A = this chain, B = another copy of it.
Amino acid sequence: MDTTLIVGYLASACSVTSFVPQVWKVLKTGDTAAISARMYTLTVVGFALWSAFGILKQEWPIILTNSICFFLSGFILIKKLWT
């Protein structure tokens, strides 16, 4: 594995690790009051576009990180909009 890919996977691990606890809190408490639906829509669209960028570039660290974060943030946005 080359250096670039190692850096990419470390970056990916940091991003997912720092994002998950916040997501977990919302899932556990069901409390989405503090979340701005407009801002979160941008976040979800951003993750979707980064995933697309990763797929087009065939960069696995980008695809993995952003598709995990896309599904997690998408779930929260649906929860926010539907409750």
Contact = CB atoms under 8 A, between A and B. Distances in A.
B53 A8 contact: yes
Interface residues of A, number: 28
10 contacts: A4-B53, A7-B56, A11-B52, A14-B46, A14-B49, A15-B43, A15-B46, A17-B42, A18-B40, A18-B42
A7 B52 contact: yes
Contacts of A14: 42-43, 45-46, 49
How many copies of this chain are found per oligomer? 2
Closest 3 CB pairs of A and B: A14-B46, A11-B49, A18-B42
A46 B3 contact: no
A15 B50 contact: yes
